[in-house]
Amino acid sequence: MRWLWRGAPARQGCRTHAIVATSWSVLGVFLALLVAARPAATQVDLAAERARMVTTIEAHAKHASIALGRDSIAPEILKIVSDLPRHEFVPDGLRGDAYADRPLPIGYGQTISQPFIVALMTDLMRVRPDDVVLEVGTGSGYQAAVLAHLARRVYTIEIISALADRAAARLERLGYGNVATRSGDGYYGWEGAAPFDSIMVTAAASQIPPPLIRQLKPGGRMVIPVGVPFALQHLVLVERDPDDRVTTRQLLPVSFVPLTSGRQR
Ligand code: SAH
């Protein structure tokens, strides 16, 4: 800002005032431009952080290629996560970590999933534009938002009603009109909206819930972590083929919060 005062020597009374006034208005314009420029700079920073996150996701995908049978995530999914404001889905105090490739706490002992896992599970769903999909375990709503960019309609169910309410409000504020959120036990799926083209469960189940298999369309896919709570779990791909045969494939070891239920199973 020193240039502003250079060439404005305070020698005479009124001329000095005029120069000072001009200088202040120039300073004012400069500061206004600075303030106006600040959000743009922040957007650029966030975009750069997201771009780094996508690079990390791509690197992880290469390492997971043996388990997955392919070494990359679909480009349209990478584009979605590189545009989507994950910082809007994490608690205020953790926004600085929003684009680190790791899960983050969202309250009530729950977490928003690691971005690589979100991209990977989304990829495994093979969502097509006309699909209707179910997510069990809304959490922050981030995964539902990712799916909402690919599917015609997303149904998402969360057992902790405070999280369901918060996610529903967030998704509405961000303009996701094709997501329906409700509070309930996702073990039983969402009977009224079934059948689904694909189902994603984002909490670890001890077994594949039979109601979810029933709510999957023939030809549909389900991605679900299966295993012991806080111990060994595997991401499992369940396919219900057009002849109604169900096959399962263990893909890779993962770590998810448990699928809980109010009822004894
Ligand atoms: N997909 C979420 C992260 C999920 S964490 C996101 O994008 O942020 C797993 C979530 O599953 C938690 O919020 C947990 O409360 C929820 N959950 C656990 N058991 C459930 C059940 N039986 N039905 C529905 N939601 C369940």
Please tell me the distance between residue 68's alpha carbon and the centre of ligand 1 in angstroms.
Answer: 24
Instruction: Take atom 17 of ligand 1 and give the residue whose Cα is closest.
Output: 137
pLDDT digits (tens, 9 = 90+) for 88-106: 999 999 999 999 999 999 9
Tokens of 227: 């295993």
Of the candidates 65, 72, 113, 261, the residue annotated as catalytic is: 113
Environment class of residue 265 by beta-carbon count within 10 Å: exposed (0-12), middle (13-18) or buried (19+)? exposed
- Residue 42 has a pLDDT of 78
Is residue 143 lining ligand 1, measured as CB closer than 6 Å?
A: yes
For the chain, the structural domain boundaries read 75-264
**Of residues 223 and 4, more confidently modeled:** 223
Helices then strands, counting H and E runs in the chain, come out as 7, 9
- Residue 261 has a pLDDT of 81
- Residue 63 has a pLDDT of 87
Please tell me the distance between residue 201's alpha carbon and the centre of ligand 1 in angstroms.
Answer: 8
- Known catalytic residue at 255: no
Alpha carbon distance 255, 263 (integer Å) = 23
**Of residues 32 and 227, more confidently modeled:** 227
**pTM of the full structure:** 0.85
Does the structural domain 75-264 have CATH classification 3.40.50.150? yes
